[in-house]
Structures are given as structure tokens and as C-alpha cells.
Amino acid sequence: MTRNTLFIILGALALLLLYNSVFIIDETKQAIVTQFGKPVGQPRTQPGVQYKIPFIQRVQFFDKRYMEWDGDSNQVPTKDKKFIFVDTYARWQITNPLQFFIRLSDERSGQSRLDDILDGETRNAIASHELLDIVRSTNRDPEVAEEYMQDMETLEKITVGREKIEALILQKANERTADLGIQILDFRFKRMNYVDEVRNRVYDRMISERNRIADQFRSEGQGGARRIEGNKERDLARIQSEAFRTAEEIRGKADAQATAIYAAAYNRNAQSRDLYSFLRTMETMEKSFDDKTSIIISTDSELYKYLKGSN
């Protein structure tokens, strides 16, 4: 073996030793150094170049950032025996990588353990509280349009509320993860809904309530229409009555004036009275007789007098 070959072999061995003794920690990661499967020393949390014994020690990396936990939608009964589907989510972080490695080994095991803890605490909390407390957070008055105020029922008061239940689940879950090297940072209900059977009953009740309100508005509208129709008929009868009275008054005044004129003309003098009598008699004859009419009159009648006088 030549000297150059020996230098090459020694250089390759040095590079291999260096490669296996140096590792780099990213700012988003933290690491545990293990020797024959057991952790050695303290967790490596500072980013940069780190060292280990080559070939004998290995490095296990863990995420330092906040991680997402998304729970499955589960059917859970409430305290008042109402079955609902609950979908939750949480944010968690590995705060003690050494303890986390000893208890759970890797992040997949951590997610699985969180499934058991958070789902179990969620079931316990929901089963211990009524549906109103799970859905609502405060006792504030709902905003309702004025036309619906009379139909608005008073909402029941809650004693706990959704936010406090979420905080309770978060507290209980953190108590159970304290020895796992995990901290749960936040927990929330993502979605809640009735099971299909209960949801259909709720929809039917909502439809029935809307129909009741619609019938009430329809009844009020029909009542208003009848009132308007009645007022119209009353006003029409009043107007017609007043018009008839006014017409009769005008007609009475006209007849009175005509009578007064006739009386004045009749009483003016004898000649005028004779002329008036003659004209009235002529009008009567014109209306009563024609060229085929035959009459018998006495000699003392007014008509005979005028006929005789005309000869």
C-alpha cells in the first residue's frame, strides 16, 4: 500500500468520523441524544452545530413549534340526554423533549395519546353539562327585530357556558399530560350538531314555529283588511246619506221658491190671476185631450167658461 493510498483512507475515515459526530439543530427543532436506545445527557434545544460520539450515539429530533391536534367527530350525550356530534381541535407543544421521549418516543405516539386524553375529557365535560351551557357562552339578550319581539320567548339562563367548559377540558387534559413532556396550549369546540334524528325534530319544530308566526301575520293582515273594508262601507254610507240629505234640502228649497213665485204671480192682481188660471187650464187640456177625445162638462165649470169665452 502506497503512502498516498494510506492518506486517502485515513482522510475518508476522518471525514466519516466527523460526519457521524456532528449534527445541526434547526431553530424549529430540539433533539435528544441516545446511546444504545437510552437518552444521554440533557435535551439539545439551542440551534446550531452539536456533537456526539460517532457510531455509538444517535440523535432523535422533535418539533419545537406549536402543533395541531384535530379530533374526530364523536357522538356524545349531554347531561339532559341530548345526543350531539362534537368536533374539537387543540394546539400543543413538546415542552420537555427528554420526558416526551421516555414516555412516548415520537410525535405520532404523542398524537395518539392526545386522542385518548382530549376525547375522554371532552366526553366527561359534555356528559356533565346541559346542552345550553355547551352551546352558549353568555346570558346576553338576543338581537331581535321589533316585529318579532312579541313572539320572542325568554331564553333560559346558563350557569357555566361554553368558554368555561373549554377551559375546564384544557385544565383537566394538562393535568394528565404533565408527566408526558407535553403542554396543551389551547382547546376549542370546532363544530357541534344534533344527530340526524334529533336534528330532523328540531327542523320540524322550527318549521312549525315559522308557520305559526306566518299564520299570525296572515290573520292580522286579514283582520286589518276587514277593518279597512268596514270603514270604507261606513264612510260610503255616510257620504251617500249626506248627499241625499243635501239634495233633498236643495229640492225642498227649490220647490218652496217655485211655490212662492207662483203665489206671488197669482196674487199680483185679478188679471194676472185670470191669466194664470187660463194658462193652467190650457196646460191641463193640452195634456188631457187629443183630436179624438169627447168630453161632457157642466156649464159652471172653469173649463166651460174659457171655452165659451173663446167663441
Whether the per-residue pLDDT at 1 is higher than 60: the answer is: no
Question: Which residue is it, cell 456533537?
Answer: 51
Section 213-237 average pLDDT: 87
User: What confidence score (pLDDT) does residue 113 get?
Assistant: 93
User: What confidence score (pLDDT) does residue 144 get?
Assistant: 59
Total Cβ atoms within 10 A of residue 69 = 18
Whether the per-residue pLDDT at 307 is higher than 70: the answer is: no
CB 44 within 8 A of CB 101: no
Whether the per-residue pLDDT at 153 is higher than 60: the answer is: no
Q: Which pLDDT tens digit goes with each residue over 162-208?
A: 999 999 999 999 999 989 999 999 999 998 887 777 677 767 778 88
The domain ranges of the chain are 17-62, 67-139+155-194, 270-311
Q: What's the rounded Cα separation, in Å, for the pair 4 and 28?
A: 43
User: What confidence score (pLDDT) does residue 218 get?
Assistant: 87
Sequence-ordered alpha helix ranges (H) in 76-192:
97-104, 107-127, 131-135, 162-177
DSSP character at residue 160 = S
Whether the per-residue pLDDT at 150 is higher than 60: the answer is: no
Residue 10 pLDDT class (50, 70, 90 cuts): low
User: What confidence score (pLDDT) does residue 173 get?
Assistant: 95
Contacts 24+ apart (CB under 8 A), 239-244: none
Q: Which of 108, 107, 74 is nearest to 88 (CA)?
A: 74
- pLDDT exceeding 90 applies to what percent of the chain? 23
Whether the per-residue pLDDT at 151 is higher than 60: the answer is: no
Best mean pLDDT range from 48-62, 86-100, 211-225: 86-100
Q: Which pLDDT tens digit goes with each residue over 236-284?
A: 888 988 888 888 888 888 888 888 877 776 665 555 566 666 677 777 7
Whether the per-residue pLDDT at 88 is higher than 90: the answer is: yes
Residue 125 pLDDT class (50, 70, 90 cuts): very high
More confident residue, 57 or 186: 186
Average pLDDT taken over every residue of the chain: 82
Q: Which pLDDT tens digit goes with each residue over 18-56?
A: 667 788 888 889 998 988 878 888 888 888 888 888 888
Q: Which CATH class is domain 67-139+155-194?
A: alpha beta
**Cα 5 vs. chain centroid, distance in angstroms?**
83
In this structure, what C-alpha cell is assigned to residue 30?
430540539
Total Cβ atoms within 10 A of residue 166 = 20
